[in-house]
């Protein structure tokens, strides 16, 4: 696995930009296993928080026109905007947050779930969250936010699963919004 220094000079993490293409070819469990391996390379949680901040810095910003009330995730203390679109039967997520650690967390979720089919997303066992110790090292409000982000991603996947189901008059390829659900 190729490595590149990002942020803290003593901290090696997999470069998100290099992993993006690789992630498109991997299944959800393979991506989770890579994340577990990356986070296991450091023991100190201050360094792991730095990894999340580095991931946030690498994430593409969400276009301003997508930062709307309807794209805000309810249940997050920080402001988190999440959008989803369907491309060739796969759900593509984009997100932004005004808090770096939260943006890093949503970046991990996007890395794992984006570019997969709705059924893959809905049936995914996201074991990496516990395996890297994320749940136990987040404040209660950030843990609630993590659950809210996951819930919204699954709601989008469910909406696209229903849209992609065979019907007599299939809907046009349009992005789902919170108000569609």
* pLDDT for res 166: 79
Given 62, 76, 157, 176, which residue is catalytic? 76
* pLDDT for res 141: 87
In whole angstroms, what is the distance from residue 54 CA to residue 104 CA? 7
**Which one, of 145, 146, 103, lies nearest residue 128 by Cα?**
146
pLDDT-above-90 percentage for the chain: 65
| Annotation marks residue 76 as catalytic | yes
Sign of the four-CA dihedral 62, 149, 51, 139: positive
* pLDDT for res 43: 87
Q: Is residue 29 a contact partner of residue 43, using CB atoms and an 8 Å limit?
A: no
* pLDDT for res 165: 82
Sign of the four-CA dihedral 172, 72, 91, 154: negative
Model confidence pLDDT, tens digit, residues 54-96:
999 999 999 999 999 999 998 878 999 999 999 999 999 999 9
Please, what is the Cα angle at 121 between 128 and 74, to 5 degrees? Answer: 85
Neighbour tally for 4: CB within 10 Å? 11
Which residues sit opposite 4 in a β-bridge?
Answer: 13
Quick one: 52 exposed, middle or buried, by C-beta within 10 A (0-12, 13-18, 19+)?
buried
Phi, psi dihedrals of residue 14, rounded to the nearest 5°? -70, 130
Phi, psi dihedrals of residue 132, rounded to the nearest 5°? -90, 0
* pLDDT for res 97: 95
Q: Is residue 58 a contact partner of residue 16, using CB atoms and an 8 Å limit?
A: yes
* pLDDT for res 1: 36
* pLDDT for res 7: 39
* pLDDT for res 2: 38
Q: Rg of the Cα trace of the chain? A: 16
SS3 category, 9? coil
pLDDT-above-70 percentage for the chain: 78
* pLDDT for res 164: 84
* pLDDT for res 20: 42
Model confidence pLDDT, tens digit, residues 121-161:
999 999 999 999 998 888 888 899 999 999 999 999 999 99
CATH architecture of 4-164+172-180: Alpha-Beta Complex (3.90)
First to last CA, the chain: 40
């Amino acid at each position: 696995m190729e490595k590149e220094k990002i942020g803290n000079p003593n901290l090696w993490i997999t470069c998100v930009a290099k992993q993006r293409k690789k992630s498109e070819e991997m299944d959800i469990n393979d991506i989770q296993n890579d994340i577990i391996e990356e986070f296991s390379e450091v023991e100190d949680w201050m360094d792991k928080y730095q990894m999340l901040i580095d991931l946030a810095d690498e994430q593409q910003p969400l276009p301003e026109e997508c930062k709307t009330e309807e794209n805000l995730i309810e249940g997050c203390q920080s402001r988190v905007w999440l959008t989803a679109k369907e491309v060739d039967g796969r759900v593509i997520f984009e997100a932004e947050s005004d808090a770096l650690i939260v943006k890093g967390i949503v970046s991990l979720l996007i890395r794992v779930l984006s570019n997969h089919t709705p059924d893959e997303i809905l049936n995914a066992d996201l074991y990496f969250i516990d395996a890297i110790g994320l749940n136990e090292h987040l404040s209660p409000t950030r843990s609630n936010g993590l659950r809210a982000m996951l819930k919204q991603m699954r709601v989008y996947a469910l909406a696209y699963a229903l849209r992609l189901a065979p019907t007599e008059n299939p809907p046009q390829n349009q992005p789902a919004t919170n108000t569609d659900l």
